[in-house]
Structure 1
């Protein structure tokens, strides 16, 4: 049983693992949020009864907004998701439960079934290390105090304890006071982007990214012609929908034109838009595209720094300009810059055409390093490594 929750970047790796495990003889069921935008065709899926797309469209992605709407939207959504995860896992009766950190009821239902559970950290937020602070908690290195920052992330379970208990009332015997630690922890992250910390335990596996090797879908003719029409950059902010999307679109287009580049804008969940007065043949806007199809010919990518987008851009061998919004995104921006794969990140509130133009200059100088990293990432076998770990649990 695979259980994930969140936006597209949280669902895509699990969908890739579900397909790979199924292709290798395993019976797999995938519990997912609604309206993720991920291709789930051919997979055995069940709904976890929460729609993060709708929450973002209605309320944005600000943590303060989430707090304001906790009682009416966020809290009820989490309650439905936690209960659905228990119900669907009991119905499937799997030999192994593999879960996203947000699915806080997964360890208890696995224990009730007498089977192991495996934690998946798409972002390294739960396994403490001295090497860096917990992404999304602190945005600067605290040295020997870095390990303490991971305690804040673990506070989520305390925050939702009542909801977890209510969901686990479905379990025969209810929820026990303690649950076993994960049999393993998997991080679908490339060591090219995050060298393994020396103080991680042996049960934590940095597998490489989980990426489907299925053929890239055929692109529509207008998109294909645009990609073949000269040098271009790709800009996407994924599910990030706060702030002024028109201002961001203006900054991207004006800075691209200053470098003689055309701009492919992927508008996503509404975080990027094109002002009418900037419309021209050198700009193409589409809601979404497979990044594996759009990126390989690009000069660089401007993006929010979500883990899935970070890996897609890096796998294509393309330099980054990261405009982080929240959570783990500042971490990835700093990490990529430190590795020489990206310009210094630009906080979203400081994004201007002038700053972005300077960052594009810096990013274009990262081309050789990005190409080298991309070649290495494309040789990784993250799904194979992950499945090998799961089969040994």
Structure 2
């Protein structure tokens, strides 16, 4: 089978697709992955085509704030979304897949599948597209609105109307006119049921598969990281691609809380969520730009992070308690969900982060550890990639 995978966004949006690509290839399928440049994900051994966008550079230049996005809408956001919508169409026309499997940002995926007369499979990395009464769409509100929860999904779906001209360009690639396409043949959510309970009102075509992970190390840990980890209790702190607010002040609060807690700190600066200001550091701190979570988090006393679903699931699967500092989008949703399921303390908004609040959350980690360890055991029994691939094959 010829499988076209298409994703857009930062590393957390790309890595699940790389795990799926590797498993599908290993099982004899021909896989082509369309992805952004410079995501930080390991693409070795995968047949990849560039989407001709660089989210990393965009984040480094303007951060992740809503105001920055609005200011650069015409100069950055529109051209980026044009490439995300049109480039996969051009690549698909040449590749001629048997199935299209795509991230929700790839708005052209349904019309691509329709033009090629093949199934379309939606990959919903966070629950924001499939309506349910159980909870509001991730990224809208963390309050349970009861019977109004379903209405929040309309706001997410309506965002596609902003890019009608770009979708017309994608349709023109196939010499067709844009129509309202049918829904996906299947929806895959690479989320563990240990973290999110499957709502009873989701259709049978929606599959909560478990996370799409790969067992192979992403990178080899450097000797200095290995040495630091071996030196005693440490707390992981990293905010991925979250470049917002005052990074130096955030680092100061994180280190003050960690030191007060009595642990050392492994600071992962990512794209700039934390800083390396020398006057804040010491022998009890080790700083790296990026690190393989699967090798580090199992040994951490706790993980302070932004609440991205990838980091959250990796930490939980490792049996490590998360302290979530959400910034934007779906992160407050995940912070609220894990607290509700007794997998971590109440989230602390990054704008309200103080050493005292963070120290209090770190002090609570042991009370959540038994539930996290039970979740970790359940997650080790999941084969998210295998489940997803079986659905794709059956759908096709």
TM-score, structure 2 length as denominator?
0.97
- Report the equivalent of 2:378: 376
User: Which stretches of structure 1, 4 residues or more, deviate above 2 A after TM superposition?
Assistant: 215-218
Within 5 Å, give how 1:315-334 maps onto structure 2: 315-334=317-336
Which ranges in structure 1 are unaligned for 5 or more consecutive residues?
none
- Report the equivalent of 1:27: 30
Deviation at 1:138, TM superposition (A): 1.8
User: Which of 263, 275, 278 pairs up with 1:276?
Assistant: 278
User: Which of 289, 297, 300 pairs up with 1:298?
Assistant: 300
The alignment yields a C-alpha RMSD, in angstroms, of: 1.0
Deviation at 1:353, TM superposition (A): 0.6
- Residues 300, 364 of structure 1: 8 Å contact kept: no
Deviation at 1:215, TM superposition (A): 4.2
Deviation at 1:139, TM superposition (A): 2.4
Deviation at 1:167, TM superposition (A): 2.4
Matched, 1:53 2:73: no
Measure, in 2, the Cα distance between the counterparts of 1:255 and 1:318. Answer: 18
Deviation per residue, 1:328-357 (Å, 9 max, x gap): 000000001111111110000000111110
- Residues 108, 175 of structure 1: 8 Å contact kept: no
Measure, in 1, the Cα distance between the counterparts of 2:223 and 2:93. Answer: 46
Matched, 1:140 2:135: no
Within 5 Å, give how 1:148-187 maps onto structure 2: 148-172=151-175, 174-187=176-189
Deviation at 1:217, TM superposition (A): 3.8
Deviation at 1:275, TM superposition (A): 3.2
Within 5 Å, give how 1:302-317 maps onto structure 2: 302-317=304-319
Measure, in 1, the Cα distance between the counterparts of 2:345 and 2:105. Answer: 31
- Residues 341, 363 of structure 1: 8 Å contact kept: no
- Residues 6, 33 of structure 1: 8 Å contact kept: yes
Measure, in 1, the Cα distance between the counterparts of 2:220 and 2:63. Answer: 32
- Report the equivalent of 2:95: 92
Deviation at 1:284, TM superposition (A): 0.3
- Report the equivalent of 1:39: 42
- Report the equivalent of 2:369: 367
Deviation at 1:363, TM superposition (A): 2.3
Measure, in 2, the Cα distance between the counterparts of 1:89 and 1:36. Answer: 21
Measure, in 1, the Cα distance between the counterparts of 2:219 and 2:48. Answer: 22
**Helix, strand or coil at the partner of 2:312:** helix
- Residues 5, 32 of structure 1: 8 Å contact kept: yes
- Report the equivalent of 2:15: 12
**Helix, strand or coil at the partner of 2:298:** coil
User: Which of 107, 116, 125 pairs up with 1:104?
Assistant: 107
Deviation per residue, 1:111-133 (Å, 9 max, x gap): 11110110000000000001100
- Report the equivalent of 2:355: 353
Matched, 1:130 2:133: yes
Deviation at 1:179, TM superposition (A): 1.2
- Report the equivalent of 1:208: 210
Pick closer, same or farther for the CA change 1:296–1:311 going to 2, 3 Å: same
> 338-347 or 270-279, which moves further after superposition?
270-279
- Residues 237, 266 of structure 2: 8 Å contact kept: yes
Deviation at 1:257, TM superposition (A): 0.8
- Residues 142, 336 of structure 2: 8 Å contact kept: no
Measure, in 1, the Cα distance between the counterparts of 2:10 and 2:164. Answer: 23
Which ranges in structure 2 are unaligned for 5 or more consecutive residues?
none
- Residues 168, 178 of structure 2: 8 Å contact kept: no
| Number of matched pairs | 392
- Residues 265, 272 of structure 1: 8 Å contact kept: yes
- Report the equivalent of 2:191: 189
- Report the equivalent of 1:339: 341
Measure, in 1, the Cα distance between the counterparts of 2:100 and 2:280. Answer: 50
Measure, in 2, the Cα distance between the counterparts of 1:351 and 1:176. Answer: 46
Deviation at 1:293, TM superposition (A): 0.8
Deviation at 1:175, TM superposition (A): 2.9
User: Which of 83, 86, 95 pairs up with 2:86?
Assistant: 83
Measure, in 1, the Cα distance between the counterparts of 2:27 and 2:349. Answer: 43
> 272-281 or 128-137, which moves further after superposition?
272-281
Deviation at 1:278, TM superposition (A): 2.5
